[in-house]
Structure 1
């Protein structure tokens, strides 16, 4: 089953998931329960859109809680000490130069559960992350992305 897939996380990622889980269980569940209670007080549930909306929100919250609990149950935590800097691996920060445009950028390679492109956290399963994995400083890497091909030169590999 896909539900038991190992989830690779950093300590930071574990902390974020635990915080979201705590919020959903302690705050959001109570808010949704109150919405349901209020909607029930309006009477006739068959035509009560507030009740339907609150029940849908409850289903979403419970589904998210189950997903987060499953992620934690199947988590493999990457220890800072285990992060290699001789090759690109999960948990490292890799500085690259785009050979077409000359731009330099830094990516943090993370497991798919922590990916956040806005924060330059790239999944090891995404095209760029997959293309960089296992490469060394000085390597030139051609990566197929939806827009075509990107060519990066790896300038530096480091830990946080």
Structure 2
């Protein structure tokens, strides 16, 4: 697997349009298991504008936004945020997922977050392997959607 460099930065309102276009341009089959919220411009703009504790970062490569990584749920009062990531299909396989995951874990550690939660589809072996290699523990199966649930406990300062 290649490991091209990417840059991560907080998403802003100015990114809502390009992000909506990026997500809207992906094949439905490719995004079938990534549904944190609707991908239309008003919803994305609202998600970014309402985030106080939640974090949404752009994944940039070659001068363009090629994905998004998020830790969310903190605004709703959850101590362990939910991790989510999407990388454009054309940018998949370049190591951006690993870099974004490492970035999110470091951010959570630096901000004294006790752990990170995520859900991943059973048939997404590559993502499951990535999360397990990063230390995530299998916690069970989500009764609502059938995805595997994982938790990464983080040391407290």
In which range does the TM-score fall when normalised by the shorter chain?
under 0.3
- Compare relative contact order (CA 8 Å, sep 6+) and give the higher one, 1 or 2: 1
Larger Rg: 1
Give the structure-1-normalised TM-score.
0.23
Give the structure-2-normalised TM-score.
0.23
- Higher helix fraction (1 or 2): 1
